[in-house]
């Protein structure tokens, strides 16, 4: 007890030896510094990756979005809330489109045919708020698109962007070419026709089975410009779901080839066949956009012949030919943005191009998965497309799932509106009442 003296104000004990005094001094000075540094490090470790100048990982992003949308099961919600509180992330900090930049299912190389759970959560989160068109976002995207693709000048072959007695390269076989004769050149429009008028609102209607029972027909027909694909049957049983108006009909060369393969060179037969397709399909005075210059084959001659006959007969349903140079430029544009596929599907290509001549693009009937958002099994094509033959979800040329994720990303940015739910509420089922005894 004599050797210990607890002197106030940090005074050293009087009877301690010299080395003991030195150790005690070090202890009194260093320990508070170490404790302070420890708590500073602890506080720093709880900062979010964004606060540290980094990026959020996919797990954190999806966790925060799941919590804010309320789609997590109750028994998991507490632990995920603790994780979110630890990273101090809010819904305003993490935009829905961020999930497309951080891997997850949206960047997988494996072709997806079943609806990913992450995608459903994404739509639930996004639609928990009021979606609005971003006019600034549309303008910025259009500028970037036009800079890289020159859609307003190159989307279709014209007398302005092509020369007679020259050759054009195929989009997916650039080492092979097709000769543009003087007559073929004369049959082309002077300029890209879709830029003649202002299109405030455009509806682009795909052929997915998700449109069945959607009741979207009225909304589609209210648009200024309606684009459809591959001769769908716009007849009475389907009008309430897909509408009836058509201004542009985009058609793959294979579909045209199948309809006109046996027509050879008889102009009268060509004309009758062409008119019957537009009459039965109720396509009105719409223009046909054909894609004959993807790869070499006999179908180029048939499409060019069809255009020549229609031009000579002054039929209102004009035929325009997609420019393979523009198709390749559009492919390069999306490849630079992470879309990996051998070729863009016609639907995705047309949606992209429409952003150059439409103020507002609304997309219906694009859903590449086997179930809809409530788990209902879907046909790849709607009943109105029963006659369409293609490789569907297993088409080796396209990545329909990855294209759809890109559409969803544009939707989250307010650049396009992507309709994936019924436009009208289905009628409530009547409860069966037991007959009175």
Which residue is it, tokens 């001659």? Answer: 301
Task: Tell me the helices (H) and strands (E) count for the chain, helix number first.
Answer: 15, 9
Q: Which domains does the chain have, with CATH numbers?
A: 58-100+118-127 (no CATH), 135-418 (3.90.1480.20)
Helix 299-313 / helix 253-260 crossing angle, nearest 10 deg: 70
Contacts 24+ apart (CB under 8 A), 102-107: 102/55, 102/56, 102/57, 102/58, 102/61, 103/58, 104/58, 104/62, 106/405, 107/338
* Spatial contact of 5 and 13, defined as CB atoms under 8 Å apart: yes
310-348 tens-digit pLDDT? 888 888 899 999 999 999 999 999 999 988 888 899 999
**Largest distance between two CA atoms of the chain:** 125
97 exposed, middle or buried (CB, 10 Å; 0-12, 13-18, 19+)?
Answer: middle
* Spatial contact of 204 and 350, defined as CB atoms under 8 Å apart: yes
* Spatial contact of 418 and 119, defined as CB atoms under 8 Å apart: no
Element (H, E) at 350: helix 346-354
The whole-number pLDDT of residue 112 equals: 56
Q: What is the DSSP letter of 286?
A: P
Strand order in the sheet with 225-229: 319-321, 287-291, 248-252, 225-229, 199-205, 358-364, 417-418
Of 129, 190, 145, the closest CA to residue 358 belongs to 145
The whole-number pLDDT of residue 8 equals: 43
355-395 tens-digit pLDDT? 999 999 999 999 988 888 888 888 655 554 444 444 455 55
Count, residues in the chain: 437
Give the three-class secondary structure for 228: strand
Copy the structure tokens of residue 330.
């559009």
18-67 tens-digit pLDDT? 666 666 666 666 666 665 665 555 444 433 333 333 333 333 333 333 32
Tell me the C-alpha distance between 407 and 122, whole Å.
Answer: 13
Tell me the C-alpha distance between 276 and 311, whole Å.
Answer: 17
**Mean pLDDT computed over 423-433:** 71
Give the three-class secondary structure for 167: strand
Tell me the C-alpha distance between 318 and 311, whole Å.
Answer: 7
Of 313, 54, 354, the closest CA to residue 204 belongs to 354
Copy the structure tokens of residue 28.
């009194």
276-303 tens-digit pLDDT? 888 888 888 899 999 999 999 878 888 8
């Amino acid at each position: 007890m004599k050797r210990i003296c607890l002197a106030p104000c940090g005074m050293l004990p009087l009877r301690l030896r010299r080395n003991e005094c030195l150790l005690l001094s070090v202890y009194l000075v260093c320990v508070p510094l170490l404790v302070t540094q420890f708590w500073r490090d602890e506080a720093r470790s709880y900062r979010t990756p964004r606060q540290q100048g980094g990026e959020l990982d996919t797990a954190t992003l999806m966790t925060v979005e799941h919590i804010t949308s309320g789609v997590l099961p109750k028994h998991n919600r507490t632990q995920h809330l603790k994780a979110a509180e630890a990273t101090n992330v809010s819904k305003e900090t993490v935009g829905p489109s961020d999930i497309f930049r951080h891997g997850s299912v949206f960047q997988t190389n494996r072709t997806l045919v079943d609806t990913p759970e992450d995608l459903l959560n994404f739509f639930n989160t996004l639609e928990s708020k009021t979606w609005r068109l971003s006019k600034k976002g549309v303008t910025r995207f259009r500028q970037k698109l036009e800079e890289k693709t020159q859609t307003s000048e190159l989307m279709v072959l014209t007398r302005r962007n092509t020369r007679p007695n020259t050759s054009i390269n195929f989009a997916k076989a650039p080492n092979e070419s097709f000769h543009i004769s003087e007559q073929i050149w004369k049959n082309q429009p002077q300029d890209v026709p879709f830029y003649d008028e202002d299109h405030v609102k455009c509806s682009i209607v795909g052929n997915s089975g998700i449109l069945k029972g959607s009741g979207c027909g009225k909304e589609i027909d209210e648009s200024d410009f309606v684009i459809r694909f591959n001769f769908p049957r716009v007849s009475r049983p389907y009008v309430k779901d897909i509408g009836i108006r058509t201004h542009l009909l985009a058609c793959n060369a294979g579909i045209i080839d199948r309809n006109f393969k046996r027509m050879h060179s008889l102009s009268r037969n060509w004309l009758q066949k062409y008119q019957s397709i537009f009459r039965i399909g109720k396509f009105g005075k719409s223009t046909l956009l054909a894609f004959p210059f993807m790869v070499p084959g006999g179908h180029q001659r048939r499409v060019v012949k069809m255009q020549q006959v229609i031009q000579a007969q002054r039929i209102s349903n004009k035929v325009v030919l997609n420019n393979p140079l523009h198709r390749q430029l559009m492919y390069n544009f999306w490849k630079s943005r992470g879309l990996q596929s051998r070729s863009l599907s016609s639907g995705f290509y047309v949606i992209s191009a429409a952003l150059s001549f439409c103020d507002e693009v609304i997309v219906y009937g694009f859903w590449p998965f086997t179930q809809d958002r409530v788990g209902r099994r879907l046909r790849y094509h709607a009943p109105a497309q029963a006659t369409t033959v293609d490789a569907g979800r297993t088409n080796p040329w396209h990545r329909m799932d990855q294209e759809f994720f890109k559409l969803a990303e544009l939707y989250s940015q307010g650049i396009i509106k992507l309709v994936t739910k019924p436009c009208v509420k289905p009628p409530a089922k009547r409860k069966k009442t037991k007959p009175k005894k």
